[in-house]
Amino acid sequence: MIDGATISQELRAGADRTLDEVLRLAVRQIHADGEKYDWVGIYLLKGDHLVLHNYIGEPTDLARIPVGSGVCGTAIAEDRDINVPDVQAIDNYLACSIETQSEIVVLIKDGERTLGQIDIDSDTRAAFDDRDLAELRKVAAALGEVLGPKLRHHE
């Protein structure tokens, strides 16, 4: 099971790393800790699109997702985390892989400003529970603290 506190501590300790290094570290740590986490990626919000920065898992064509499209775009449009136990039940689902059965999306924020999201797909139906959500929210909070200043610097 993912340990959000430990990952968060590692992210905060490496705040002097580059944006890419921070994102790579986060994706690696989340993927290593989550046995049902088959695809782990971080999308950053650029205008009205989510742009994939770092991921572990099968290659995907979904490098840019319009806000409002799929689970990821819906999470941004509705400003909320989303846990989908069965992606087949979602009308506007955008598949990274045909093997994906469930997905969880957790927003990364710097205060009220949404920076992006952690997106995780699982080949197991109903793979994510309230504990996954709570632990991923810890990681997202740490990412918001670390990425906020870096992204403001790049604007």
Q: With beta carbons less than 8 A apart as the criterion, state whether 116 and 81 touch.
A: no
Domain that holds residue 75: 4-154
Number of structural domains, the chain?
1
Q: What is the CATH number of the domain that holds 41?
A: 3.30.450.40
Sheet holding 113-122, edge to edge: 64-66, 49-56, 39-46, 113-122, 102-110, 82-84
Q: What residue spans of 34-129 are helical by DSSP H?
A: 70-78
Q: Tell me: the pLDDT tens digits for 101-117?
A: 999 999 999 999 999 99
pLDDT for residue 155: 55
pTM score above 0.75: yes
Q: Tell me: the pLDDT tens digits for 119-154?
A: 999 999 999 999 999 999 999 999 999 999 988 866
